[in-house]
Structure 1
Amino acid sequence: MPRPDATVGIYIPFWGELDYLQTAVESVLAQTNPDWALTVVNDAHPDYSVDAYFETLQDPRIQYIRNESNCGITENFRRCVQMAVEPRVVVMGCDDFLLEGYVDVICKAHAEHPEADLIQPGVVVVDENGTAVKPLVDRVKQKMLRPRSDSPLLLGGDNLAANLMHGNWLYWPSLAFRREAIQSHDFRDGFPVIQDLALILDVLLDGGRLLMVPDAVFAYRRHSSSASSLELRDGSRFAGERRFFEHARRLASAKGWSRTSSAARLHITSRLHALVLLPGVLARRDMRTAKVILRHGFGS
C-alpha cells in the first residue's frame, strides 16, 4: 500500500521500455531525502521481465501493481491519482527520471507554501540516451513562455491561465500536486495527449495556485517515439488541441477570465508549432496532414 507518512508520493503509470523504467526507479532510490513513496502501475504490458525486475527490489517504499487488463493511458493515470494518499502527488513518466535533490526541493516547497496546489521545479530536457538537449519547443517554453524568477514564485488566476493558453511551459511529469487538488479534478475524456493541461486548467479555474521553483531537479525525456511526437506526424494532435482550446475558451468565458478566453481563442504558439512543421509535411507530399496543419494555423 502507498505510505501516508511520506510527503512525496511518486506514481508511474507504466507502458513502455523496461530500461527507461529502471532508470526512473533508480533515480528515485538515489534521492538523499528518504521522504518518498513510489508506486508503479503496469497497464498489463506483455513483457513480464518488468515483474521480475520488481521482485528483486526489497525497498518497502516501493509498491508494484499489474493491471489485469490494459485500460489505456487515461484510465491508468486516473488509477494512479485515485490511490494516492501522500500530501504531494507526482504522476511521473516511465521514461523520465529525477535529478539529485528533487525530493528535497519538493518537501521544502511544500513546507514553505502548503497552499500551492501545484509545484513546478526546474527541468532539464534529455534525449533517448539521457543527454541534455535543447529542442526548439523547449527553448520557447523555458526562455520565452516561462516567467523569469531566481526565487520561488507563486502564480495563479486569469494571468497564469492566459499565460498557459498562449503556450504551456509546464512539464506535467515533474509537477507535484497537492493531493486534494488533483483528486478533486478528474482527467477529461477526449483530450488524450493534452489531458494534463485540461486538468491543470480545471485546478486553476477552481482557485488553484502554482509555485514555480527555479531549481533544476527533474529530467524530462523528449524523443521521437513518444505518443505526442507520433501524433505530430499526422497532425492529429492539432485537431485535438483545437477541440481543447475551444473547450478552454468556453470555461474561461463562463468564469469571467477575459485574458484566458482570448488566449485560448488565439492559441498562438500552438498555431506557430503547427506551421513550423509544414515544410517537412509538404516535402513528403502528405497533403492530408498539410490541410490539417493549415486549418490549425490559420483557422478561427
Structure 2
Amino acid sequence: MTTLDILLPYYGDVSLLQATVRSILAQTDPDWRLTVVDDGREPGVPEWFAELDDDRVTYLRNEVNLGITNNYRKCLGLIEHEYAVMMGPDDIMLPNYVATVRAALAAHPGATLVQPGVEVIDGSGAVVHTLADETKRRLYAPRFQGRRLMQGEELATSLLRGNWLYFPSLVWRTDLVREIGFRDDVEIIQDLALVIDLLQAGGSMVIDDTLCFQYRRHTSSASARTAASGVRFIEARQFFLSVADRLDAQGWSKAARAARWHTSTRLHAITLLPGAVKSGQRAGVKRLLKFATATAKSR
C-alpha cells in the first residue's frame, strides 16, 4: 500500500486542532502525508504550522470561507495517494491508527473503505459512553472479532438501520470517492450518503475492531446543534426516502425498506424531544415529532 493521505478540513478551536495534529505526528507508522485546509481566520495558526518543520505536513488557508461541503471537495482534490482519511479537526488518532488501517488494506487489497476501532471522547478528552454510541455498538454494528469484509445490500441494510460508522476515522479509496464526490443536497448526513453511493457502485468495506481512533463528541458540533433544533432531520428524511427509491430500482428491497423506516434515526429524534421542550424550541419540537411519527412513505 502507498502512503496514507490525511486530509484535515479545519474550522474551529485552535487547541483541539493542535491536539489532532500532534496525534498524527505521534504515529508509529511514519508513512503518511498530512494536508490541513484552514477555512477560518484564527490568529497564530499559520505560524504554528510553520514551526512544526515536518515535510510531511502541508498547511493551506482559504482566501474566502468555503463552508463544510466545499472545503471537503477542495481537500478531495488535494489527495495524491491511493487511500485517504478525511479527519475531523478535533478528533485524535491513537499511535497505531496508520499501522492498523494499512494492515487492513494489505489484507484486503482494493477495498473501498476501512472502518477501524473507535472510542468516543468528550470535549475534555475523557472517554465517554453515550446512549447513541452504545446503541450503535450493541444494536446496529455487525458482530465480529478481528477483521471482516462487507459489501453490497447486506452492508447497506445494516447502515440504513443504524449508521454505526465514524466518518472522520474512515479510510477511503481515492479514485472511487472522486468519481462519485460529495452531494450538494446533504451536509450533516454527507458521510452515510457517500458510503451508500459507493456500495451501490460495487464498493466494499473492511471493518477492523482494533482500537486506534478517538472520535470527539460534544454539544458545540454542527450535528449536535442541528439535532436539537430538529433541522438535521429534515435533511435526513429527504435522504432516506430518495435513497430508498434508488435501492428499489437496484433490486435491494431489504435495504430500501430499512431506508424508508430509518428506525434508529426516528428513535434519536424521540430522545431529543425532552430537551427541545425544556429549552422552549417549539419549532424544534414540531419537527422532531413530525419526523418520528411520519409513515414510511410520506414525504
SS in 2 for 1:155: strand
Q: In structure 2, how many angstroms separate the alpha carbons of the residues matched to 1:136 and 1:32?
A: 32
User: Residues 15-69 of structure 1, C-alpha deviation per residue, up to 9 Å, x if partnerless?
Assistant: 01110110111001001111100000011x1213111111101110000111111
- Are residues 1:18 and 2:26 paired? no
- Are residues 1:198 and 2:210 paired? no
User: In the alignment, which residue of structure 2 is the partner of 1:288?
Assistant: 283
User: In the alignment, which residue of structure 1 is the partner of 2:4?
Assistant: 8
TM-score (norm 1): 0.96
- Are residues 1:31 and 2:27 paired? yes
- Are residues 1:42 and 2:38 paired? yes
Q: In structure 2, how many angstroms separate the alpha carbons of the residues matched to 1:143 and 1:259?
A: 21
User: In the alignment, which residue of structure 2 is the partner of 1:244?
Assistant: 239
Q: In structure 1, how many angstroms separate the alpha carbons of the residues matched to 2:2 and 2:65?
A: 29
Q: Extract structure 1 runs of 4+ deviating beyond 6 A.
A: none
Q: Does structure 2 retain, via aligned residues, the 8 Å contact 1:117–1:177? A: yes
Q: In structure 2, how many angstroms separate the alpha carbons of the residues matched to 1:185 and 1:142?
A: 28
User: Residues 198-217 of structure 1, C-alpha deviation per residue, up to 9 Å, x if partnerless?
Assistant: 11110000000010001010
Quick one: which amino acid aligns to residue 196 of structure 1? D
* CA shift in 2, pair 1:24/1:6, >3 Å: farther
Q: In structure 2, how many angstroms separate the alpha carbons of the residues matched to 1:23 and 1:280?
A: 31
User: In the alignment, which residue of structure 2 is the partner of 1:167?
Assistant: 162
User: In the alignment, which residue of structure 1 is the partner of 2:263?
Assistant: 268
Quick one: which amino acid aligns to residue 279 of structure 2? R
Q: In structure 1, how many angstroms separate the alpha carbons of the residues matched to 2:281 and 2:180?
A: 39
Q: Does structure 2 retain, via aligned residues, the 8 Å contact 1:166–1:264? A: yes
Q: In structure 1, how many angstroms separate the alpha carbons of the residues matched to 2:43 and 2:2?
A: 29
Q: In structure 2, how many angstroms separate the alpha carbons of the residues matched to 1:280 and 1:58?
A: 46
- Are residues 1:58 and 2:39 paired? no
Q: In structure 2, how many angstroms separate the alpha carbons of the residues matched to 1:192 and 1:32?
A: 33
Q: Unmatched 5+ residue regions in structure 2? A: none
Q: Does structure 2 retain, via aligned residues, the 8 Å contact 1:31–1:101? A: yes
Q: Does structure 2 retain, via aligned residues, the 8 Å contact 1:145–1:163? A: yes
Number of aligned residues: 295
SS in 2 for 1:184: helix
- Tell me by how many angstroms 1:278 deviates: 1.3
Q: Does structure 1 retain, via aligned residues, the 8 Å contact 2:228–2:275? A: no
Q: Does structure 2 retain, via aligned residues, the 8 Å contact 1:6–1:37? A: no
Q: In structure 2, how many angstroms separate the alpha carbons of the residues matched to 1:266 and 1:155?
A: 22
- Tell me by how many angstroms 1:151 deviates: 1.5
User: In the alignment, which residue of structure 2 is the partner of 1:128?
Assistant: 123
User: In the alignment, which residue of structure 2 is the partner of 1:138?
Assistant: 133
SS in 2 for 1:115: coil
Q: In structure 1, how many angstroms separate the alpha carbons of the residues matched to 2:219 and 2:281?
A: 19
Q: In structure 2, how many angstroms separate the alpha carbons of the residues matched to 1:112 and 1:7?
A: 16
Q: In structure 2, how many angstroms separate the alpha carbons of the residues matched to 1:79 and 1:299?
A: 37
User: Residues 210-236 of structure 1, C-alpha deviation per residue, up to 9 Å, x if partnerless?
Assistant: 100010100100000000000012100
Quick one: which amino acid aligns to residue 25 of structure 2? L
SS in 2 for 1:275: helix
